[in-house]
Amino acid sequence: MGRRLKFDMPGPDWRRELGDFRETPREAFFGTPSGCLLVVEVGFGRGEFLVQQAQAHPDHVFLGIEVSWKRCLKLARRLARTEIANVRLLADPAEEVLGDGLREGEVETFWVNFPDPWPKARHARRRFVRPDTIARVARCLRPAGLLHAATDDPDYATQIHEVLAGEASLKNVHATAWVDEVPGRMPTAYELEWRAEGRRMHYFSYRRREASA
């Protein structure tokens, strides 16, 4: 029998509604002075990567997007036990947040860590990395802003490479399509499990061009 889901919030609840994100001035939404750099993680899963990044960069504000409300609740409860205050969470599809939530040129960095590969052919259209979603990501990046992506799925890696390379406003940071290691990168819990199984990792980094090509 699985553990019973706990709903009590032992401190501040950093979950927010997408409508609030659309309508609230950023300084009020994040509770920070203007000018703080915005970092977005799409699909934060267990949340350990987002928490580590927020702790390491207190001068940034972080938006975690996760379609699973249970995962969002669990991370909110974890954050409530800490003094971390520069994170806000949205339990919404990332496509909706990209569509009319995030503004053009306001994101310094996007992280897309190991999105669901949807390995069955009939489900491939559900993958997050597609030309339309990446075009939205690129639009939301500030000039010279970064998009980092990672996958352990070889087939998805090929698709990610093709989609990112095909977006004219993005430029590959690496000399190769992807790299197998990123020195200093904090691994996610799933990443550690997959590495122990011998899976190959694929890491991508793309920068928004100063002017669209």
Q: Compute the distance between CA of residue 196 and CA of residue 96 in angstroms, rounded to an integer.
A: 35
10 Å CB burial of residue 34 (0-12, 13-18, 19+) is exposed
Task: Starting at the earlier edge strand, list the strands of the sheet with 141-151.
Answer: 15-16, 87-90, 60-65, 37-42, 107-113, 141-151, 202-208, 170-172
Strands (E), the chain: 15-16, 37-42, 60-65, 87-90, 107-113, 141-151, 170-172, 202-208
Cβ atoms within 10 Å of 4's Cβ, excluding its own: 6
Q: Would you say 106 and 81 are in contact if contact means Cβ atoms under 8 Å apart? A: no
The catalytic residue among 13, 92, 100, 116 is: 116
Is-catalytic flag, 116?
yes
Question: Which residues, listed in sequence order, are joined to residue 16 by a DSSP beta bridge?
Answer: 90
Q: Which residues are catalytic?
A: 116
